[in-house]
Amino acid sequence: MANNLKINNKLYKPIILTYYCGFMKILLIGNGAREHCIAETLKKNKQSMLYSYLKSKNPGIISLSKDFEIGDYSDLNKIKSYAQKIKPDFAFIGPEEPLSNGVVDLLKEMKIDAIGPTKSLAKLETSKSFTRNLLRKYKINGNPEFGIFNKKNISEAKKFIEGLSQCVIKPDGLTGGKGVKVQGDHFRTKKEAFDYCNEVLQSHPAVVIEEKLEGEEFSLQCLTDGKTVAAMPPVQDHKRAFVGDKGSNTGGMGSYSCENHLLPFLEKKDVEEGLKITQKVANAVYKETGEFYRGIMYAGLIKTKNGIKLLEYNARLGDPEAMNVLPLMETDFVDICNTIINQQLHKIKIKFKNKATVCKYLVPKGYPEKSLKNEKMNVGKVPQNAKLYYASVEQKENGLYTTGSRAVACLGIADTLEKAEKIAEEATKSIKGKLFHRKDIGTKKLIGKRIRHMKIVLSE
């Protein structure tokens, strides 16, 4: 970690080193649209020099990078060699996979600071049981009724499920957002719930059974240095593949945020409650492990009749939610990263533009189950005010190809949601290929449905 700097007998905190030491070398790990957006935001600082480690050739990230390396997130030796070669001032870890593989621990051994937690702290995302138990132990609001079961005590799960009116089954480990099953959506009966628990235990050490919560979900992405927690504007994501919230769960088909930094079904006190929970969790993480969590605590929250509840934490920015907040950031992102590393986050005021955003993902036909892979796409002229972020695409010599996962995110930014939605929709037309998207994200009709749903939930 950098030392304080003495100039004219005055001690400067390392935060100002950005301005005194020439270029700031940053290693970015990840290759999605989220990372393309992170790269763009870091590059707004003219002194930043970006080096990227990616799984596939994302043309957006590569065009912003001085140099790049292609490799797997599990190949820690390759990441180590690349980090040794470029000697970054710090690393920014985009996705959960390298975090859960211990990439921050590796960098720490090499004395390289990172935005992202160590493997044991990334348990906040990778182990649902760790997080539920932490909230319970430190008496933090937000837990639903829950039970944790393994092969030894699974017989008790039957009775537990019987005691809940409806339940949610969560494998205790990373599932890419696709292993969580909800009664009424993915299965109907309590027997099916119990059968799924047994299925989960074939591949996971434990299963978490939770009461099903009714309400509207939102994402509160927070920055933390382990002591201070700062929230970014809340965002609502859309998990289902098709218009009208139909179809399978996906990584996220699109998202929106509002110019007043609330959501149409949220009040200021709801966002404050989400932040309060996250601040208490950051304190509890330190008490429990003796380690400060540096990076992102992205709270998946739900507003219910009984207040704000925690669905899960992610140890990284949301995808697509990062694209709703980072382009609005007025404070220098590199400075924010430095304050996280040096535990000076309380000293910086993080500002966001009062604009609305709508993000729509173009995904390959057949996504998520039978995605068309290796299909050529063409990107034309992007409309004014719109932004495109490349996701899982591969730049080949003869053009751009899909890889099977989400392909390109189209972002509209405007003074109102209505205008932002129109810009994002227009932007989707600039991309041609065997792709589809959800036309309803950010529309008046869908947002009206969310508001009505919330009213019903609160009045029951």
Nearer to ligand GLY, 318 or 364 (CB): 318
Least distance between ligand GLY and beta carbon 239 (Å): 7
Nearer to ligand GLY, 314 or 403 (CB): 314
Least distance between ligand GLY and beta carbon 448 (Å): 22
**Residues 236-254, buried b or exposed e (16+ Cβ, 10 A)?**
bbbbbbebebebebbbbbb
Task: List, in sequence order, every beta strand (DSSP E) within 305-385.
Answer: 307-314, 356-364, 376-379
Are the beta carbons of 114 and 92 closer than 8 angstroms?
A: yes
Binding site for ligand GLY (CB under 6 A): 177, 237, 252, 314, 318-319, 321
Burial of 203 (0-12, 13-18, 19+ CB in 10 A): exposed
Least distance between ligand GLY and beta carbon 432 (Å): 26
In sequence order, which residues have a C-beta less than 8 Å from that of residue 108 and are 6 or more positions away?
114, 118
Counts for the chain of helices (H) and strands (E), in that order: 15, 27
Nearer to ligand GLY, 279 or 314 (CB): 314
Least distance between ligand GLY and beta carbon 177 (Å): 5
Task: List, in sequence order, every beta strand (DSSP E) within 111-260.
Answer: 113-115, 146-149, 167-171, 181-182, 207-211, 216-224, 229-231, 236-237, 240-242, 246-249, 254-257
Nearer to ligand GLY, 259 or 321 (CB): 321
The radius of gyration computed from the CA coordinates of the chain, to the nearest angstrom, equals: 22
Q: Which H or E run contains 388?
A: strand 386-390
Comparing C-alpha atoms, which of 130, 117, 454 is closest to residue 310? Answer: 130
Least distance between ligand GLY and beta carbon 115 (Å): 16
Least distance between ligand GLY and beta carbon 350 (Å): 20
Secondary structure class of 325 (helix, strand, coil) = helix
Least distance between ligand GLY and beta carbon 361 (Å): 10
Nearer to ligand GLY, 237 or 273 (CB): 237
Least distance between ligand GLY and beta carbon 314 (Å): 5
440: DSSP letter: T
Least distance between ligand GLY and beta carbon 180 (Å): 11
Quote the CA–CA distance of 68 and 62 in Å, as a whole number.
7
C-alpha distances in angstroms, 450 versus 127, 168, 319, 441?
30, 21, 21, 11
The angle, 0 to 180 degrees and rounded to 10, between the axes of the packed helices 128-137 and 268-289 is 100
DSSP bridge pairs for 57? none
